[in-house]
Amino acid sequence: MDIKASDQPESLFEAPPVVEQERMIEAILFASAEPLTLRQIEERLPHGSDASEAMVLLRKRYTGRGVCVMKLGDRWAFRTAPDLGFLLQKERVETRKLSRAAIETLAIIAYHQPVSRAEIEEIRGVSVSRGTIDLLMELDWIKLGRRRMTPGRPVTFVVTQSFLDHFGLENPRDLPGIKELRDAGLLDNRPPPGAMPGIQAEDPDQGDDWQQEGQEEMFE
């Protein structure tokens, strides 16, 4: 025998007033760590509650407030009012250390400018990745110089005014020499384990450890 919907037994408890349901939804959303669907919300409400109707009232109550009830896909959550988002933005200075390759490349450009990429690679003894050059240009520490009047017209690189300003230099000629770096404690007096080809040290017994050790200290 079919049972009509009207013949279904009613709940022993009446659903709370819609205003009270609204307060309940407010509490549920406030405590939830993630947005909730109406079905998830309704499962937490007393039997017979109408989450949809209560949600309409809740959204109206938060209209024009600092936070609002927003629908995210098929889910609901409290969010900061869109026009007040700027209040929560926080700017911070992020310090990034340069890689060894970037330090060496920057030092070679500073001491040998204008210098082409091929010349940098010859001095370092290894290839220079495009990412290293891009990073130094993004930092505005190097820029493109004049093209070489040689076959292929390769571009050269030079340091920028920003580089000089950062290290308190008036011009590239003010870069410290090997002796100054050693006297300042940026280089030790031990013989270098090996020297990069192409760079002449100021002292005959001193190699290129200024690139591998001294410049690493300078540019961090």
Q: What is the pLDDT of residues 51-72, one digit of tens each?
A: 999 999 999 999 999 999 999 8
Q: Which residues of 24-56 are buried (b: 16+ CB within 10 A; e: fewer)?
A: bbbebbeebeebbebeebbeebeeebebeebbe
- The strand pair at 142-144 and 156-159 is best described as antiparallel
Structural domains of the chain sorted by starting position, each given as residue range(s) with its CATH number in brackets: 13-84 (1.10.10.10), 100-219 (1.10.10.10)
Which stretch, 1-15, 65-79, 161-175, has highest mean pLDDT? 65-79
pTM for this entry: 0.43
Q: Are 123 and 112 in contact (CB under 8 A)?
A: yes
C-alpha–C-alpha distance, residues 13 and 15, integer Å: 7
CB neighbours of 166 closer than 8 A, spacing ≥ 6?
A: 141
C-alpha–C-alpha distance, residues 158 and 162, integer Å: 12
Q: What is the pLDDT of residues 190-216, one digit of tens each?
A: 444 334 343 333 333 333 443 333 343
Q: What is the pLDDT of residues 21-33, one digit of tens each?
A: 999 999 999 999 9
Q: Are 110 and 174 in contact (CB under 8 A)?
A: no
